[in-house]
Structure formats: structure tokens, C-alpha cells
Amino acid sequence: MQPLQHQMMGYDRAITMFSPDGRLLQVEYARKTVRQGNTAIGLVCKDGVLLVTDKRVLNPLMITEAVEKMWQIDDHIGATASGFLSDARILIERAQVKAQQNKVTYDSPVDILTIVKDLCTLKQTTTQYGGLRPFGVALIIAGVDDGVPVVYETDPMGNYFQYKAAVIGEAEEEVEAILNKEYKETLTIEEGLKLLIKTLKKVLGEEFSSERIDAAYIKVDEAKFTKIKKSKIDRVVKEK
């Protein structure tokens, strides 16, 4: 066992080097970082898209409103993340610039897949050149394209997939198991918010608090990113 461990150690020191069984170990470590991060969820509803995240504020001295894990990319696009939020900030700022450039150049809002592909191209690039490290963050990007609500998930490798309901972070398996049973395409944003808060309440148990929840939505008929007020979240949390 000892020689094998030493052998594998050599392969995890360079991002461009495949291990004998075809793995890029630094990318796998980045994925583990995501799985240890806060839980974030994106939901396609019949009237729009919903993003909910656990801010995971454990220090009582911290100002919870200052913890940012939900971002607006354009009027019709929002995002949340799990993993290294410093890495997420770089990617979000790139996406915001891309959206602005598209509006100035073409006088029209950027389509969501263009944003997703651009970010994933950058993520993939960091897995291919020496001297770089993978982005230690996964993103859920959601929005409304021509009246159609869509949710995409991107991983540290640069892969992206479209989902009806996407989950990333520490409670991914537990939340996904619940959504597989309870998610319906006929859910409204209002109903989706209740479902996701109930789910996080169940998964987090005694650690759950409304202070930890951040949420935003984009409605099909408005195509406008809107943060959900804390008072609204408090009301939903108190409902049985």
C-alpha cells in the first residue's frame, strides 16, 4: 500500500498529468471542495426559476446580510455557488461583463447558454495548462430565455448540464433524494420556495435557521432577477 500511495502522490502534484487509471486528481480534489461547501439549489418552476442557498453563517458576530452567495448576472439571469466563493466571484464578474458586452454589441440580452459555455471554457482551460489550478467552485446558473425557464449546473472540470432541479454542496445527496420524490414541473415559485425551505429544514436539522437562507427568483412574465426578502423567508419558515 505504501508504494502505491507514494506513486499516487506524484500524480496529484500536476494538474496536467493523468494517473494510470485515467484521473486528474487535482480536479477530483476541487470537486471534493464543492461537496464540502454550502448547499445551493436551482429549481425550474412553471412560472419561472428559483434559486435557494444556505449561507451557512456559523459565527454569531458575522453580519449575515454581508454574506453573498447569490448573484445577478443580468436582468434575466442569476447564479449561486458552492465551494471557494472567491473563485465564484471571479467567474460571476466575468459573466456580468459578458452579458454587458452582448447588450452593447447586439442590443439584446445574452442567452444563458452563451454565459454557461464561456465560464465552462475558462474552467476547462485551467485543467489543461501547468501553473494553474482548477476553480474550486460549482455554479448553478438560472434564468429565463425567450420565455423559457432554464437551470444549468457547471462543475470544476468545465462540464455543464441542464436540469429541472440542480443541487450542489454538502447536502447534495440528501436534498436530491427528496426532490426526486417531491419535485413536480407544475410547481410555482411560491410552492417551490416552500418545498426547498422544508427540505433544508429537514436536512440541516437543529442547525437550520432562517438567517442561513438566501433566495431569489426570475419570473417568466417579468424576466427580472429579484431577491426574496428576509421577512418572506421568515414567514415560510414559520409555516407548518
The enclosing H or E element of 140 equals strand 137-145
**Residue 137 cell numbers, joined:** 467552485
Residue 81: φ, ψ to 5°: -150, 165
Q: Domain 2-238: give its CATH architecture.
A: 4-Layer Sandwich (3.60)
pLDDT in tens, the chain (240 residues): 444 454 556 667 777 888 888 888 899 999 999 999 999 999 999 999 999 999 987 777 878 778 889 999 999 999 999 999 999 999 999 999 999 999 999 999 999 999 999 999 999 999 998 888 999 999 999 999 999 999 999 999 999 999 999 999 999 999 999 999 999 999 999 999 999 999 999 999 988 989 899 999 999 999 999 999 999 999 999 885
Hey, which residues does 143 pair with through a beta bridge? 77, 150
What residues does each domain of the chain span?
2-238
Burial class of residue 31, CB neighbours in 10 A (0-12, 13-18, 19+): middle
Contact 167, 179 (CB under 8 A): yes
Q: CA 150 to CA 146: how far, in whole Å?
A: 10
